[in-house]
């Protein structure tokens, strides 16, 4: 599918890939971002990737200096983007993204919604844990809160809408599901996802050079652990 490019004010363009994310979309998004980050287009100041889009912010003066037509900077940049994007190789042929393992202590106080999800899915809590931890996920985007990952790859049998009543506080490290995706809460914030467990890993540390543990395009596997192991690993970056 050919990307659709639209304007966002007079200083940005949005590159729209397929409207629904699939297994290859995150790789394609990162491929586009990598290409744009290489300085192949003048005046690009910032890239913001999402599940199916990349927003390209640019500096008009830099484009003018590059001999772009003054009357249609956005149109000129859009045509250059389309031309270059058509030359990108198949995303599936790219090297596999890094794989991050996230240990999770499921159920109990850490997973207050595990029992209710098991009931709705007509399975045992143990089967829910197995289903959730056996899948491999891909980070579609970070959003909602710093370091908050939206994870694609949730098994069909675990796809339920959000809670009818969101919680005012969800603990940092909570692993949850909703609307066909999984997530990990990087800090204590309100939320309406179904919480299945908690990881002792720190998902976001503003004092690190790379604050977010996960990045768009990363692959993620969850591993079930005991409470004792949770305590040993707690606070691990």
Asked if 119 and 13 sit in the same domain, the reply is no
Asked if 48 and 81 sit in the same domain, the reply is yes
Asked if 151 and 189 sit in the same domain, the reply is yes
Asked if 105 and 211 sit in the same domain, the reply is yes
Tokens of 227: 């409470």
Boundary residue ending a domain (93, 117, 152):
93
Asked if 26 and 89 sit in the same domain, the reply is yes
In the predicted model, what is the mean pLDDT of the chain?
Answer: 86
pLDDT at 94: 61
Q: Is 65 exposed, middle or buried (0-12, 13-18, 19+ CB in 10 A)?
A: exposed
Count of CB atoms within 10 A of residue 62's CB? 15
Asked if 73 and 113 sit in the same domain, the reply is no
Question: In angstroms, how far is the first alpha carbon of the chain from the final one?
Answer: 39
Q: What is the CATH number of the domain that holds 153?
A: 2.40.100.10
Asked if 33 and 134 sit in the same domain, the reply is no
73 pLDDT band, cuts 50/70/90, is: low
127 pLDDT band, cuts 50/70/90, is: very high
SS3 state at 53? strand
Assess whether pLDDT exceeds 80 at residue 109: yes
Asked if 31 and 117 sit in the same domain, the reply is no
Asked if 80 and 104 sit in the same domain, the reply is no
153 pLDDT band, cuts 50/70/90, is: very high
Asked if 106 and 223 sit in the same domain, the reply is yes
Q: How far apart are CA 233 and CA 237, in angstroms?
A: 9
* Structural domain count of the chain: 2
181-184 and 149-152 beta bridge pairing: antiparallel
Task: Please report, for residues 35, 39, 90, 183, the alpha-carbon distance to residue 86 in angstroms, rounded to integers and kept in the order given.
Answer: 12, 18, 10, 33
Q: How far apart are CA 184 and CA 206, in angstroms?
A: 17
Are 88 and 65 spatial neighbours (Cβ–Cβ below 8 Å)?
no
Tokens of 121: 């899915």
Asked if 209 and 143 sit in the same domain, the reply is yes
Boundary residue ending a domain (59, 93, 127):
93
Assess whether pLDDT exceeds 80 at residue 130: yes
Q: Is 167 exposed, middle or buried (0-12, 13-18, 19+ CB in 10 A)?
A: middle
Domain containing residue 34: 4-93
Query: Which residues have CB under 8 Å from 29's CB, separation 6+?
Result: 17, 49, 50, 51, 52, 53, 54, 216, 217
Task: Please report, for residues 71, 152, 154, 208, the alpha-carbon distance to residue 92 in angstroms, rounded to integers and kept in the order given.
Answer: 38, 16, 20, 31
Boundary residue ending a domain (93, 114, 147):
93
Nearest residue to 135 via CA among 25, 26, 193, 221: 221
Q: Tell me, what DSSP letter sits at residue 138?
A: E
Kindly provide the residue ranges of all beta strands, DSSP E only, lying in the chain, ordered along the sequence.
4-7, 12-16, 44-49, 53-58, 99-106, 136-142, 149-152, 167-170, 174-178, 181-184, 189-191, 194-198, 219-224
Assess whether pLDDT exceeds 90 at residue 43: no
Q: Is 174 exposed, middle or buried (0-12, 13-18, 19+ CB in 10 A)?
A: buried
pLDDT at 79: 76
Asked if 133 and 167 sit in the same domain, the reply is yes
pLDDT at 88: 65
């Amino acid at each position: 599918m050919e990307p659709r490019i639209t304007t966002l004010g007079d200083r940005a363009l949005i590159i729209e890939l397929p409207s629904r994310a699939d297994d290859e979309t995150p790789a394609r998004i990162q491929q586009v971002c990598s290409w744009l980050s290489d300085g192949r287009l003048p005046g690009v100041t910032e890239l913001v990737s999402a599940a199916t889009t990349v927003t390209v912010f640019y500096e008009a003066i830099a484009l003018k200096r590059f001999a772009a037509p003054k009357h249609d900077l956005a149109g000129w940049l859009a045509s250059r983007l389309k031309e270059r994007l058509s030359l990108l190789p198949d995303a599936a042929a790219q090297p596999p993204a890094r794989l991050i393992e996230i240990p999770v202590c499921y159920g109990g106080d850490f997973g207050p919604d595990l029992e209710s999800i098991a009931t709705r899915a007509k399975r045992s809590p143990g089967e829910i844990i197995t289903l959730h931890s056996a899948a491999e996920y891909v980070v579609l985007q970070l959003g909602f809160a710093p370091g908050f990952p939206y994870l694609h790859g949730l098994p069909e049998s675990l796809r339920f809408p959000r809670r009818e009543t969101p919680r005012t506080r969800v603990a940092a490290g909570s692993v949850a599901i909703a609307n066909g995706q999984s997530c990990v809460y990087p800090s204590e914030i309100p939320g309406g996802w179904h919480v299945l467990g908690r990881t002792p890993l720190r998902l976001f540390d503003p004092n690190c050079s790379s604050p977010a543990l996960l990045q768009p395009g990363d692959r993620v596997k969850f591993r079930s652990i005991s409470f004792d192991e949770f305590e040993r690993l707690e606070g691990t970056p």
